[in-house]
Amino acid sequence: MDPKKKTVGFVPDHDADTTTSPGGSNNTSTVNSPVSAFSNTPDLNNTTNNNSTTSTPNSAGSAPASSQPRSINTSGARSSYEPMKSSYEEQWGLTPTRTQKTASPRDGSGFPAKEQGAGSHKKENKVKTSGLGIQANAGSASTDGPQSSTSSAGPASAGGPPSSGKGGSQKPSAPSQKSMTKAERRELQEKQKAEKAARVSAGLPASGKKAAQVLNQPNSGFSPNPSKSLATSFPGAEAEKAIAAAESTGQTRRREKLTKEIGLFAHLDPPKFANTALAPKDLHPAVVHAGLQMAQFKICGANARCVATLNAFRKAIQDYQTPPNTTLSRHIQTYLNPHISYLVTCRPMAVSMGNAIRYLKYEIGKNLELPDEDARALFVEKIDNFIRDRITMADQVITSLGLQKIQDGDVILTYARSSVVQGLLLAAHAKGIKFKVIVVDSRPRFEGKQLLRALAAAGVPCTYVLLTAIGHVMREVNKVILGAHSLLSNGALYSRAGTAVVAMSAHERKIPVIVCCETYKFSERVQLDSFVQNEIGNPDELVNDQNNNFGHSSTRCHPSVRGANSGDAASAAAGAGVLTGWRESRDLKLLNLLYDLTPSEFVTVVITEVGLIPCTSVPVILREFLPMMQQ
């Protein structure tokens, strides 16, 4: 045998073509394996024995014996059968999705793929695979076989995987989510969210493709945030940390300066301000006007807000024009939904408003087959009946029942202003009952002054104090009458902030606490404290309260305290308030909660249109009486 030619392997029934490389280097024996008729794919029954091994001549010039015939191209190129087998695996989805074990050419057992490096030192080649391809670790030599999807620089074989075009290396394919575990998919989603947030924070589009287009166009006129360069300089999590660090001194501080959120109440909606520019154009003017008045607190109180909402909806229904190919009964609810959303954007919806709107939708759903004019008249009538029966007549019944609890010589304490309580006290005075009223009020809205004005005009003896003096005046009181924003299912009283303090003080002194509340204000909601659900008012009302306090704001300082002359106009203008620039203070935050929660044990009795009940009977009223009232 020619010493320059060494037969490395032999396959029965097939010829082995041996080629001699110049210089007497190791030669290659390529096996011509039989090929099936489908896409030039090899016969897999014979490919098991067609694996290749490297043969290195020993010092004696003879090749070491091999237990199985095998061929290899020492230049690092693929054997002739390997591109076709790779094409077969890709065609039929046989590409492994995890680290696979190859069949041993010795005994057929599975073992990790090995490669033989320089100096005959064997090094394990850990193969990283994905659902779309296989990628070897950097620094490992190319191996022949179906487990290697990357090759050395050079022309790609026909049917093999495509190369990236730069040096003949293949770009690693992205892993398929189908081959990932649930934890890996979640990690990928979190990473994508972080990258998206980093792009948005940097002033780039949220889409990665659009952000790349913006960055590739330097003359596009795009003005990035100062942290944009950080996003392009650091990959992944480092970019997010860099952007967060940059924004902590800029945008974040500006946002905190505007919102001044308090962490304990961060889950509540911030104060809302009416913005007609963002409202839909087809809103009825009556609804827009009602929303603006509610946002400015010109319409305040559960009953007043509910009546204003229903009156606005009545005008909207009367002026509504039915679109073609539909009926009023089926389209009116779609028409009213934007109006309801607008009212919510002006101010959070009251419980009374929500119950009234649900009642109106209930009546609309019951009458879907009526003609347009009949449906219009019916809905307007239902709105008028709700206002008459559930609000006006209910208040009159509550007043008649409350008169039984007021006697001559009583000293009645009330807090803030309730339209039902005001009507009860005026009716008792008109009946000739001699009693005295103590009106307790608090900042920032000072609603008790409106009640004080009405009682004083009627000739009722009154005393006006702030909430801070509740402990002093409670010694003279023998009854406490309060209003309610809502009564919750667990018996808790949801009312104006400060009501809980008044009820607790009366309960400590064994003074009965009477609550006047209509049944349409009952709610199925359960609440244990004022932190779960509440409404945050404008914090500037705690500072700029001169309009509510008749020009005598408690936040102002006397000129003598500031050391200024009384005739100095500039000093008088500068004395607008000691907290005028509170938003500029880094460590100062103001909180203006509008409501609080009074536990049921502080309430003695509740006067409703269905009688005098304990506050714990709210679920019974909701279950038994309300369905009958809706019929």
DSSP 192-254: HHHHHHHHHHTT--SSHHHHHHHHT-TTS-----TTHHHHHHS-THHHHHHHHHHHTTTHHHH
Do 163 and 285 reside in the same domain of the chain? Answer: no
What gap in Å lies between CA 346 and CA 316, rounded to an integer?
18
Q: What is the predicted pLDDT for the residue at 432?
A: 96
Do 364 and 249 reside in the same domain of the chain? Answer: no
Run of H or E including 372: helix 372-386
Look at 62 and 623; give whichever has higher pLDDT: 623
Burial class (CB in 10 A: 0-12, 13-18, 19+), 203: middle
Do 104 and 186 reside in the same domain of the chain? Answer: yes
236 close to 191: Cβ distance less than 8 angstroms = yes
Q: What is the predicted pLDDT for the residue at 290?
A: 95
What gap in Å lies between CA 609 and CA 112, rounded to an integer?
83
Q: Does 530 reside within a domain? A: no
Do 48 and 161 reside in the same domain of the chain? Answer: yes
In this prediction, residues 510-536 reach a mean pLDDT of 95
What gap in Å lies between CA 513 and CA 503, rounded to an integer?
7
HSE at residue 108, side-chain half, CA atoms within 13 A, is 3
Please state the three-class secondary structure of 446-471 as a single string: CCHHHHHHHHHHHCCCEEEEEHHHHH
Asked if the model's pLDDT at residue 22 lies above 70, the reply is no
Asked if the model's pLDDT at residue 429 lies above 50, the reply is yes
Asked if the model's pLDDT at residue 613 lies above 60, the reply is yes
Q: What is the predicted pLDDT for the residue at 92?
A: 53
With a CB cutoff of 8 Å and minimum separation 6, the contacts of 483 are 414, 416, 417, 418, 419, 420, 421, 495, 496, 515, 516, 517
What are the residues facing 135 on neighbouring strands? 128
pLDDT band for 540, please (50, 70, 90 cuts).
confident
Q: Does 152 reside within a domain? A: yes
β-pair type (28-31, 16-19)? antiparallel
Do 283 and 241 reside in the same domain of the chain? Answer: no
pLDDT band for 338, please (50, 70, 90 cuts).
very high
Asked if the model's pLDDT at residue 81 lies above 50, the reply is no
* pTM, rounded to two decimals: 0.59
Look at 450 and 94; give whichever has higher pLDDT: 450
Look at 190 and 173; give whichever has higher pLDDT: 190
Run of H or E including 338: helix 328-346
Look at 66 and 291; give whichever has higher pLDDT: 291
In this prediction, residues 306-310 reach a mean pLDDT of 97
Q: Does 101 reside within a domain? A: yes
Do 133 and 282 reside in the same domain of the chain? Answer: no
Run of H or E including 357: helix 351-366
For 564-579, the pLDDT digits (tens) are 444 455 444 444 556 7
Q: What is the predicted pLDDT for the residue at 106?
A: 46
Q: What is the predicted pLDDT for the residue at 282?
A: 87
What gap in Å lies between CA 461 and CA 412, rounded to an integer?
11
In this prediction, residues 99-108 reach a mean pLDDT of 45
Asked if the model's pLDDT at residue 73 lies above 90, the reply is no
The region that residue 221 occupies, defined by phi over 0 for left and psi between -120 and 50 for alpha, beta otherwise, is: left
User: Angle, nearest 10°, between helix axes 237-247 and 182-201?
Assistant: 40
Q: Where are the alpha helices (DSSP H) in 466-568?
A: 470-473, 499-508, 559-562
Q: What is the predicted pLDDT for the residue at 170?
A: 56
Q: What is the predicted pLDDT for the residue at 203?
A: 67
Look at 240 and 453; give whichever has higher pLDDT: 453
Range in 65-79, 267-281, 402-416 the model is least confident about: 65-79
Q: What is the predicted pLDDT for the residue at 209?
A: 79
With a CB cutoff of 8 Å and minimum separation 6, the contacts of 277 are none
Q: Does 94 reside within a domain? A: yes
Range from 1-5, 193-197, 617-621 that averages highest in pLDDT = 617-621
Last residue of a domain, one of 342, 375, 395: 395
- Residue 217 vs residues 118, 175, 220, 224, 611: alpha-carbon distances, Å: 48, 30, 5, 12, 74
Burial class (CB in 10 A: 0-12, 13-18, 19+), 473: middle
Q: What is the predicted pLDDT for the residue at 218?
A: 56
pLDDT band for 396, please (50, 70, 90 cuts).
very high
What gap in Å lies between CA 143 and CA 152, rounded to an integer?
10
What gap in Å lies between CA 439 and CA 477, rounded to an integer?
11
What are the residues facing 462 on neighbouring strands? 437
Look at 389 and 257; give whichever has higher pLDDT: 389
In this prediction, residues 393-414 reach a mean pLDDT of 97
Do 217 and 316 reside in the same domain of the chain? Answer: no
What gap in Å lies between CA 509 and CA 470, rounded to an integer?
12
Range from 149-163, 250-264, 293-307 that averages highest in pLDDT = 293-307
Last residue of a domain, one of 353, 375, 395: 395
Q: What is the predicted pLDDT for the residue at 216?
A: 73
Look at 229 and 202; give whichever has higher pLDDT: 202
Look at 102 and 442; give whichever has higher pLDDT: 442
Give the 3-state secondary structure of residue 137. Answer: coil
Amino acid of residue 358: R
Last residue of a domain, one of 578, 596, 621: 578
Total domains in the chain come to: 3
Q: Computed from CA positions of residues 198, 201, 204, 207, in that sequence, does the dihedral angle turn out positive or negative?
A: positive
Backbone angles phi, psi at 182, to 5 degrees: -65, -40
Range from 189-198, 203-212, 514-523, 562-571 that averages highest in pLDDT = 514-523
Asked if the model's pLDDT at residue 412 lies above 90, the reply is yes
CATH of the domain at 357: 1.20.120
Do 103 and 39 reside in the same domain of the chain? Answer: yes
Do 304 and 337 reside in the same domain of the chain? Answer: yes
For 466-482, the pLDDT digits (tens) are 999 999 999 999 999 99
Do 91 and 33 reside in the same domain of the chain? Answer: yes
Asked if the model's pLDDT at residue 414 lies above 90, the reply is yes
Q: Does 516 reside within a domain? A: no
pLDDT band for 427, please (50, 70, 90 cuts).
very high
Token pair recorded at residue 430:
């008109």
Neighbours of 252 (CB within 10 A): 13
HSE at residue 34, side-chain half, CA atoms within 13 A, is 12
Do 242 and 287 reside in the same domain of the chain? Answer: no
Do 356 and 245 reside in the same domain of the chain? Answer: no
- Residue 226 vs residues 200, 410, 450: alpha-carbon distances, Å: 12, 69, 52
Instruction: Write the DSSP symbol of residue 332.
Output: H
Q: What is the predicted pLDDT for the residue at 205?
A: 76
Asked if the model's pLDDT at residue 15 lies above 50, the reply is no
Range from 58-72, 160-174, 230-244 that averages highest in pLDDT = 160-174
Burial class (CB in 10 A: 0-12, 13-18, 19+), 538: middle
Q: Does 293 reside within a domain? A: yes
Residue ranges making up the domain that contains 304: 276-395
% of the chain beyond a pLDDT of 90: 44
Asked if the model's pLDDT at residue 269 lies above 70, the reply is yes
Q: Does 623 reside within a domain? A: no
Q: What is the predicted pLDDT for the residue at 196?
A: 82
As a whole number, the mean pLDDT across the chain is 73
Nearest to residue 75, comparing CAs of 125, 30, 10, 17?
30
Q: Where are the alpha helices (DSSP H) in 459-601?
A: 470-473, 499-508, 559-562, 569-574
Give the 3-state secondary structure of residue 307. Answer: helix
